[in-house]
C-alpha cells in the first residue's frame, strides 16, 4: 500500500486554508493509503514560540485533525519531536542539501523578511527537516496546499542526490498531492496575501473554532469589489477577492468554480455572501463543535499522540538504521 505523510505546524488556530488545502484531503485519502499525519513542533520552534502555548496548540491542532475525521486507530497521528529519527535524518540531509538550493526557498525569504541575519539557522534548514519527515518513512505521496510545492521539489532533489551520491535506490520519488478547488486560500482582507495563522488580524481568516456568528460576520466583512459576479472564469480571474470567495464556495460545496458561477453570475455579493456563509457554517460548524469537545479531554489527545509516536518510531527506526549504514556511520 502507498504511504502518505503530511504535517501541520502547531503554531495557532487551524483555519479554512489549512482545512481546504490540506486537512480535508488528508481525511479523504484515508481509504486509499496508509497515512501518517504529524504536528511538526520542531518546525514550529524555527521561530520563537511560547512554551505553554506550543503545548496547547499541539493538542488543539490534533483535536482539529480528529474532529475533521482522521481516524487515529487506522492511521498514525503524532507530534514530531517524540520521534527522534526525524531530527537525526535531518542532520544527514543538512549534509546532502546544497546552500544554493536553500537560498532559492521563497518561504524562507518571506519569513525571514528584511532582517535575514537575525533569522534562526533552523528556519534556514527547515526544508531539510521537512524532507526528513517524509523520507524517514519512505512515504511517496504528500498532500499539501500550493505553498509547499517548492519545499517538496527540494525534498525530491535531496532524495535523488542521496541515492546518487551513495549509489543506492533507497528513497522513493515524492509525489505532491495538491487537490481541490482551493489549494491556495487567500486572506479575507487582502486578496494578495494567503490566509495564514500568523496574520495579526483575526478577520483575515476563518478559524475552525469560530462559531456561526463569527463565520458569518467575517464573510460579510470580507473585502470585495462592487461588481456582481461575472459569467466566465476569465473575468473572475481578474478579480482576486471575488475569485477567492468563489473558490472557497466551490471547495466547500465540492463543485467546480464554473458550476458556482453558473448559479451566481449576475448576482451581487449581498446575495452571494449569505449563501457562502450558510455553506461555511454548515460544513465547519460541526468540526468546531467536535474540536471543543475533544479539547476538553486532553488525556485522550495525549494518549492518541503517544500511541501514534510509538507506531511511527517503529516504522522510522529501521529506515534510519539503513541510512546510517549506507553513509558509513559505525554502529552495533
Which spans of this chain sit near ligand TRP (rule: CB under 6 A)? 5-7, 9, 40, 43, 130, 133-134, 142, 144, 148, 151
Residue 198 or 270: the one with the smaller Cβ distance to ligand AMP is 198
Contact present, 178 and 145 (Cβ < 8 Å): yes
114 is catalytic: no
What are the Cα distances from residue 281, in Å, to 28, 76, 252, 253, 287?
20, 29, 10, 12, 10
218 is catalytic: no
Cα–Cα distance measured from residue 208 to residue 20, given in angstroms and rounded to the nearest whole number: 11
> Active-site residue among 2, 111, 114, 138?
111
Residue 35 has phi, psi (to 5 degrees) of -115, 140
| In the complex, least distance from residue 322 CB atom to ligand AMP, rounded to whole angstroms | 28
130 binding partner (options ligand AMP, ligand TRP, none; Cβ < 5 to 8 Å by kind): ligand TRP
| In the complex, least distance from residue 23 CB atom to ligand AMP, rounded to whole angstroms | 7
| In the complex, least distance from residue 270 CB atom to ligand AMP, rounded to whole angstroms | 26
21 binding partner (options ligand TRP, ligand AMP, none; Cβ < 5 to 8 Å by kind): ligand AMP
Contact present, 233 and 258 (Cβ < 8 Å): yes
Contact present, 208 and 64 (Cβ < 8 Å): yes
Residue 175 or 235: the one with the smaller Cβ distance to ligand TRP is 175
| In the complex, least distance from residue 143 CB atom to ligand AMP, rounded to whole angstroms | 7
18 binding partner (options ligand TRP, ligand AMP, none; Cβ < 5 to 8 Å by kind): ligand AMP
Q: What one-character DSSP code corresponds to residue 46?
A: T
138 is catalytic: no
Cα–Cα distance measured from residue 272 to residue 245, given in angstroms and rounded to the nearest whole number: 9
Q: Which helix (H) or strand (E) holds 326?
A: helix 298-327
For CA atoms 281, 57, 6, 144, the dihedral sign is positive
Close Cβ partners of 89 (under 8 Å, ≥ 6 residues apart): 132, 135, 136, 320, 323
Residue 244 or 295: the one with the smaller Cβ distance to ligand AMP is 244
Contact present, 291 and 64 (Cβ < 8 Å): yes
> Active-site residue among 2, 109, 138, 194?
194
Residue 143 or 230: the one with the smaller Cβ distance to ligand AMP is 143
Residue 146 or 302: the one with the smaller Cβ distance to ligand TRP is 146
Q: Which residues have a catalytic role annotated? A: 111, 194, 197
Amino acid at each position: 500500500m502507498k504511504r502518505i505523510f503530511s504535517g501541520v505546524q502547531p503554531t495557532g488556530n487551524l483555519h479554512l486554508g489549512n482545512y481546504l488545502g490540506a486537512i480535508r484531503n488528508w481525511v479523504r485519502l484515508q481509504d486509499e493509503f496508509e497515512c501518517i499525519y504529524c504536528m511538526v513542533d520542531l518546525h514550529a520552534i524555527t521561530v520563537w514560540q511560547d512554551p505553554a502555548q506550543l503545548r496547547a496548540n499541539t493538542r488543539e491542532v490534533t483535536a482539529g485533525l480528529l474532529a475533521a475525521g482522521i481516524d487515529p486507530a487506522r492511521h498514525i497521528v503524532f507530534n514530531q519531536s517524540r520521534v527522534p529519527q526525524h531530527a537525526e535524518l535531518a542532520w544527514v540531509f543538512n549534509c546532502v542539501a546544497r546552500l544554493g538550493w536553500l537560498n532559492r526557498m521563497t518561504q524562507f525569504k518571506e519569513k525571514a523578511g528584511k532582517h535575514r541575519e537575525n533569522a534562526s539557522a533552523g528556519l534556514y534548514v527547515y526544508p531539510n527537516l521537512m524532507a526528513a519527515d517524509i523520507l524517514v518513512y519512505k512515504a511517496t505521496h504528500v498532500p499539501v496546499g500550493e505553498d509547499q510545492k517548492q519545499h517538496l521539489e527540494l525534498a525530491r532533489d535531496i532524495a535523488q542526490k542521496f541515492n546518487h551520491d551513495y549509489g543506492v535506490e533507497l528513497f522513493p520519488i515524492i509525489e505532491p498531492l495538491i487537490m481541490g478547488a482551493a489549494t491556495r486560500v487567500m486572506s479575507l482582507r487582502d486578496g494578495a496575501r494567503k490566509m495564514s495563522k500568523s496574520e495579526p488580524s483575526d478577520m483575515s481568516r476563518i478559524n475552525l473554532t469560530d462559531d456561526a456568528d463569527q463565520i458569518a460576520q467575517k464573510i460579510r466583512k470580507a473585502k470585495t469589489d462592487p461588481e456582481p459576479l461575472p459569467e466566465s472564469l476569465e473575468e473572475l480571474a481578474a478579480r482576486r477577492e471575488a475569485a477567492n470567495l468563489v473558490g472557497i464556495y466551490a471547495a466547500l460545496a465540492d463543485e467546480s468554480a464554473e458550476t458556482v458561477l453558473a448559479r451566481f453570475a449576475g448576482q451581487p455579493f449581498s446575495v452571494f455572501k449569505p449563501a457562502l456563509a450558510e455553506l461555511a457554517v454548515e460544513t465547519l460548524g460541526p468540526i468546531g463543535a467536535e474540536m471543543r469537545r475533544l479539547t476538553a479531554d486532553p488525556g485522550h489527545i495525549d494518549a492518541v499522540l503517544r500511541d501514534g509516536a510509538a507506531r511511527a518510531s517503529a516504522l522510522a527506526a529501521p529506515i534510519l538504521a539503513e541510512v546510517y549504514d549506507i553513509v558509513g556511520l559505525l554502529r552495533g
